Structure 1
């Protein structure tokens, strides 16, 4: 089986191996995966609102897509906040070591 990373411009976004959506990668850092999911949801939301659904609108599906997109965006913000605080804590630890060493 061959996994391709390239996507034609007109294809909808798909989750690829490089998006780190596998269980092991999700445990350590799921920002890339969440970004890809958000990108795909935005694509499908836009598609549902486009001319190809003008004759057969899908209002319930559009509403569901909007709700999913909002949930993913909130989750993404919470994750970014958590990662920022984690990085700040790490930076503060290194900075305190530098100051501690300099004070001697």
Structure 2
């Protein structure tokens, strides 16, 4: 999947689009037997990959379908990542339940 990320980024660079016009969501990168890998590259070049199994889409048939659901989940993950990087010593994560699953 990381090879596909590089290919997509090279294609975006070759297209000559402005940096602010580029969407961080790269779309479905790799189809799997029972799902797909979706990619997202942050403005600071952190690469986020999300594996969604078939049938794991929130709201089945809601606006945007699988692509929209993957985009929303990756944006939320990017927000959590940015928050963690802003407070690397854990200042923003006090109390139980800050992590997925409460661990």
Q: Same fold (TM over 0.5)?
A: no
Asked which structure has the greater CA Rg, the reply is: 1
Normalised to the residue count of structure 2, the TM-score between the two structures is 0.31
The structure with the greater share of residues assigned to strand is 2
Q: Which has the higher contact order (CA 8 A, sep 6+)?
A: 1
Normalised to the residue count of structure 1, the TM-score between the two structures is 0.31
